[in-house]
Each structure stands twice: as C-alpha cells, then as structure tokens.
Structure 1
Amino acid sequence: MAPRTVAAAACLVLGLGLIGGALTGSWLTGDGEDGAAATAFTTAGTLWHSVPVDELFPPTVQGTGAGPGGADRSWTRIAVAPDTGCAHAFDPLLHTALAPVGCRRLLRATYTDATQSYVTTVGLLFTKADPAGMSALAARFRDEHLDRRADLMPRPYAAPRTAAAGFGAAQRASWTISVLTDAPVVAFAVSGWADGRTVDAPQPAADAVRSGATTAPAQAGLGNEAQGLADRIERRLRTTVGTATEKSS
C-alpha cells in the first residue's frame, strides 16, 4: 500500500474514533440539546424556593397589545398568596385531573388592571412529575379539552382588604390553564370583575378573546385579562429558567 494511502486510512480511523468518542461522551454527560433540556427541566422544578417572588410575580406587569383589539394593558399586583401546597386551591374535579403529576408547591398572586375594574389570579403549580408525566398530562388536557371545561376552573385568591376581597368561586368569569412540557409546571389564570358581581356563564379565555365573541366576559375583555397576564407570567418563568440554567452550567 502506498505511503499516502496508508496515511489517509490512518487519519480516517483516527477521525472516526474521535467522532465516536465525542458522541459517547455526549451521551454519558448529557451534553447536547437533550441534556440541556433535561437540565432546564430540573432547574425549573427548583425555582419555587430559590427565586424571589418579585421575579416570578412582579409588582407590575406590562401587557403591550394584550387587551381587546390589541390595546395595551398593565396590571398591578395587590396580593401574594401564602406559600402553600395545593389543598383547597382547586375545585375537586380539577384537583383530580392534576393529581397524576402531584403537587410540590403552588404559588399564586392576584392582580388588578389599571382602572381596578377587574381582578385576576395567576398561579404556577410546581409538580412532582418528570417530562413524560408532564407530556402525558398536556396531551390529556389537549385531547379532552379539559382547559375549556367550566367545572375545571382554577380557584381565585381573594385577599382580604384588597380589590379582590370579593373574588370568589361565583365571581370567576374567564380562565386559562397551560400544562408545560419543558418544565414541571402548570400555569393558570382566572379573572373576574372587581365589584364582586357573580357570573352565570364563565367562558374560557381562548374563546373569549376571539373576534366577534359576544358573551359578557368577552365584551368586558376578561378573557384578555386572564390570557394576557398568564402569558406574561409564563414568559417570565421561562426567562428565569434560562438564566438559572446558565448559572448552574
């Protein structure tokens, strides 16, 4: 075999060995996209005790384009619920639906809009589930439309001596529930009028924000209140997860 051919063959063998070693190392150490996703998932599950409440639920939240017709909104936090478990935080059927992923911690805060006409409780349920468990729950909520059932609404946090003091189960007007698959978290929000009026026909936010919706919650923009605030709190959670993951790596 010519010397040049022998050298080329040796380089090929060496190159394949290096590639194989790199891939094996990636599998063993969890490098790559799968490893990064697993790290982020694990990191997200610890945020309930390692991140200040102002970072997850800031005192004010800006909602550019979040209102009806693309109007800007802003929300002011008026209360933070005590750091507790999930007992009595959900209606019985919703509690049962969420049971497969468990409850590690539940964080909630209640906000009001700039006019103090509406109140919205937003929450982050930190679960005990692994990625497969969260994916299974997300699939069930999606396939069975559990996020649109009025008997599966989250309960509000009615803080005494605030604009939300009268915000009880009968005052719920619109809501949204999001089962995350990249974090062991279920994010939700539920909105109502600040004057304590009861609502006979609450409507899921996904329907209330649609163009042409004529229900009372839709006309008042309560779907936008729930969806807009929940979206922004969820985005903050993901940003916080990204920052925490970078620091731990």
Structure 2
Amino acid sequence: MNAVSGAGAWSPRSPAHPAGSPPDAAHSWSAAPAARPVVTFAEPETSGERTPGRLGPRTAAAAACLVLGLGLIGGAVTGSWLTGDGGDHASVNAYTAAGTLWHSVPVDELFPPTVQGTGAGPGGADRTWTRIAVAPDSGCAHAFDPLLGKVLAPVGCRRLLRATYTDATQSHVTTVGLLFTEADPAAMSALAARFRTEHLDRRADLMPRPYAAPGTAAAAFGDRQRASWTVSVLTDAPVVAYAVSGWADGRTVDTPQPAADAVGSGATTAPAQAGLGNEAQGLADRIERRLRKTVGTASEKPA
C-alpha cells in the first residue's frame, strides 16, 4: 500500500439539531470603492493650428458614443445587482443550499426507490436499480477505510448519507454515498484537484466501503466483495459522491477495478466483463444529477 499524506487524522463532527426543534420525521434520515475612470479628449487640429476648447465633429461623436457605452454598461451592472442575477451571488446561494440538503430533503428525493439507467449498462443497455437499504444518517467514523478517511479529512464530515441498490436480476449490489463536508469552495476545489492530479479515484486502497444491510441481497456485501468504484469530489457543492459495486452472492474480489477503467473499451477483468463498472458509474452519475437538480430547486428565490 502506497502512503497517502493527509492533513491530520479523521475527526468527524456531527452537528446536533437545534434544541427543542427536532427535524420533521418526513424529512429525517434517522427517523475601497474603485476610483472612477477619467476620460480626456485631445484638442483637434485645424490647418496645422490647435484650437483651444473646441472639439471637431468626429471627436465629439466618438465622445458621445463612449459616454453612451459607459452608461449602458453601468446600467446593466446596476440592473444585475438590483435583480439578484449576479453569477457569483447565485453560486454562493447554491453552494450554501447544498450543504443543508442532508436534513432538509426527504430520503426518496436524494435516493429514490427506483432509479432508471437508460443506456447505462455495457454496450448501452438499459439498467434499472432498486433500493434495498438506506443507512441511518451518520458521521464518518468507521465509514471509510483509514487511508481514504485521511485523504478526506481536510474537508471534514458534516453528515454521511448512504443507500444500497440491486439490479433487476439481483445479481449485483451497489452502495452509493453522499458525504456532506464542512468545507468552503476553495477547500473542495483543492481536494478535487488532488484527486485529479494524483489519480486518487483509481487507487484500490482508497475504495469507499459498502453498506451491507442484514436480510437483503446486500447482506454479504463486505469490504472483500468490493469489485468496482467511483469517487467524485464536487466543487459547486460541499459534497463527495461515490459508489461501490460487487456481486450479490458474496464472492470475494482479488483485483477490483475503478469504474472509469472497467467501462473502457477492451477491459477484460471480471468486474468489467460483469458490468460492475457500469453499475457503479451509472448509479453514481444519476444520484449526482438528482443532487444537482435538488440544489437548484432549493436555491431558487421565491417569486
């Protein structure tokens, strides 16, 4: 196992609900101004002589156009401020709204009972996933392998939501998770850059753990059964989304493969041939899309 440096040990913090106001059960997972520009115009020359204090027709026209242009620009900016259409402001609103979804949105909205995966299977085949278990919302203690926990530690852990799905044949099981972090956009961008440049999402020693629920098709879905996985660090929301897949019969996997490689043309590993890369990638993509759609709705201003 290669060592991965991290910014301190994993130290999850789970915020409590405000005293005296428990969450609605229907929504519960656990039951110096800038200086003004100065514009000057040159004095026109007439027959080789300078005429103080007068502007020629062309210069006057140019001046008028410039003043008009500045006025239009200023008006547009002012209009943006007044209507709340500023891009940065909207982004901040969406980012902030995303961080509250773990306790303000019903389970079924983030992890629906059934997910349709049109064209998500090998060769563009359709997939249908059925939710078979939802983990109680929790902190991150023991939720990740120690090394992955160390890598994620810089962004903190506000809450972790997980659900496990099976395919239509109940041959495969896939756990999808949404880690709501305590990080600001800069910290999420830094983590995303690290995953990208160091290819951390392809390291088998940084696989997420599955959620195995007793009495379901995922009862035997443990760490040794992990076959394929994907991890996505969002930069427009304080969320790390992931999915990990395996066989429902409990068989162990000696050489798991990241979904990005397993879905590639010519992949011949057992997880690739079984379509487990497609299971992890397809389900993770659709849950992430639902999250973004929910963020957009939550951040909309009332009319």
Could you report, residue by residue, the CA deviation over 1:192-236 in whole angstroms, capped at 9, with x for unpaired residues?
000000000000000000111000000000000000000000000
Deviation at 1:26, TM superposition (A): 5.2
Alpha-carbon distance in 1 for matches of 2:269, 2:63:
74
Alpha-carbon distance in 1 for matches of 2:185, 2:126:
35
The 5-angstrom pairing of residues 6-45 of structure 1 reads 16=70, 19-20=73-74, 23=77, 31-45=85-99
Which of 229, 241, 254 aligns to 1:187? It is 241
Could you report, residue by residue, the CA deviation over 1:108-165 in whole angstroms, capped at 9, with x for unpaired residues?
0000000000000000000011111111000000000000000000000000110000
Q: How many residues align?
A: 248
Is 2:151 the counterpart of 1:79?
no
Q: Which residue of 1 aligns with 2:276?
A: 222
| Aligned residue identity for 1:116 | Q
Which of 143, 166, 172 aligns to 2:197? It is 143
Q: Which residue of 1 aligns with 2:289?
A: 235
Deviation at 1:16, TM superposition (A): 4.2
State percent identity of aligned pairs. Answer: 87
Q: 1:80 to 1:248 in 2, by over 3 A?
A: farther
| Aligned residue identity for 1:55 | E
| Aligned residue identity for 2:264 | R
Alpha-carbon distance in 2 for matches of 1:205, 1:30:
40
Alpha-carbon distance in 2 for matches of 1:84, 1:11:
62
Q: Secondary structure at the match of 2:251?
A: coil
Q: 1:24 to 1:150 in 2, by over 3 A?
A: same
Q: Secondary structure at the match of 1:49?
A: helix
Is 2:152 the counterpart of 1:98?
yes
Deviation at 1:244, TM superposition (A): 1.0
Is 2:116 the counterpart of 1:62?
yes
Alpha-carbon distance in 1 for matches of 2:83, 2:150:
37
Q: 1:9 to 1:145 in 2, by over 3 A?
A: closer
Which of 207, 210, 213 aligns to 1:153? It is 207
Is 2:223 the counterpart of 1:169?
yes
Alpha-carbon distance in 1 for matches of 2:301, 2:147:
39
TM-score by length of 2: 0.76
| Aligned residue identity for 2:129 | W
| Aligned residue identity for 1:244 | A
Higher-Rg structure is: 2
Is 2:273 the counterpart of 1:210?
no
| Aligned residue identity for 1:185 | V
Alpha-carbon distance in 1 for matches of 2:227, 2:275:
10
Q: Secondary structure at the match of 1:246?
A: coil
Q: Secondary structure at the match of 1:77?
A: strand
Alpha-carbon distance in 2 for matches of 1:209, 1:12:
56
Q: 1:170 to 1:248 in 2, by over 3 A?
A: farther
Alpha-carbon distance in 2 for matches of 1:145, 1:48:
28
Q: 1:25 to 1:95 in 2, by over 3 A?
A: farther
Unpaired segments ≥5 residues, structure 2: 1-53, 55-59
Q: Which residue of 1 aligns with 2:24?
A: none
Q: Secondary structure at the match of 1:120?
A: strand
Which of 165, 173, 191 aligns to 1:119? It is 173
